[in-house]
Structure formats: C-alpha cells, structure tokens
Amino acid sequence: MQLLDQAVWGLYNEFATQVYYYSSWYDLNGDGIDEAVVHLVSPDACGTGGCNMYVYQWDKLSLRYQLISKTVGTSQPIYAASTKTNGWNDLIALRSGGGYPPSFMLLSFDYNNTPYPLSNGQALSYPYSLSNGQALSYPLSSEIVQSSILLMDSVGLYTNGSRKITR
C-alpha cells in the first residue's frame, strides 16, 4: 500500500498535506499482475462533475507503480466490464453532476485517448474525459451483469472506506 501511496503523492505538489482515495486491484490486461484503479476524493481532485480516476500498472523493473491513465469527472461506482479493447478490460464509470444527467460511460483502452504523453511512453490509455466514452443505459441493465465492481461509493465521503494519506 505504501508504494501506491507514493505514486498518488506524485500527483500533488509539496504544499498538499492530505489526500483521500479509494483503490481497487484488478488484472485489467490479463498479464497476471493486478493494476491499481484509484479514485481520488480530495477537494483538489473533484469538481461539480466528479473526481479523478487513475489507473496504475506495476512496473517490475523500477518496482513502483506507473501512471498509465487519468480520467476526469468520474463518480462511483466504477466497474471492470467483461468486454475488452486492445487486450484490456473496458471500464464503466458513472457520470453525474456538472450539468449531465446520470449515465454510465464505457471507457475503452485505446490509442490516443490521452491528451498528454505518459512518462512510460505508452500510447494506449483510457479516455481522459468521460465525454470520449460510450454512453450506456442508466440505470445499468444487462451490460453490467458480467462485470466486476471495482469501487463503490460509501456514505462518508473522505472518511469511510477511503484511504487517507498525509505528510
């Protein structure tokens, strides 16, 4: 858990003193090593349209988590879908707030989804914005039946179920 904490701290400047996040591990690419799906719920990572979701992959060479994807404006629940794109499970995230009616968005791991180059040179990513996903029905129907839930919101935002890290 400390290595994931370090990776999450890498997103913040030296002035941040605490961060809250939910995390789940799931083998999204079928390589036998679980990726970390992180949903930040800190004031710096959330707005009226939701919070930031990050996907980290364990790098066996550097022995640390590498950021491979950032998606803004997501809400929980977040699911790993049974469908795959380019060998990676699609993700399903709730879009609500920010003037949007509640809807679930299917996020595919594809080329040129990210607006910025990733440090590991990866050209594949989940979409940076939910607007680049595919809208699914709300509430979810049979699309989710064969999917795995990764993160589910708790009642006590910033406390219950989330991990608080401080420096």
Res. 143: pLDDT tops 70: no
122, pLDDT greater than 60: no
Residue 10: CB atoms within 10 Å = 11
Say which residue the tokens 């920010």 belong to. Answer: 98
pLDDT at 53: 93
pLDDT at 162: 60
Average the pLDDT over 32-51 and give the result.
Answer: 86
Mean pLDDT of the chain: 80
Comparing 158 with 161, the larger pLDDT belongs to 161
pTM: 0.84
pLDDT tens track for 77-120: 889 998 899 999 999 998 887 777 888 999 999 865 555 555 55
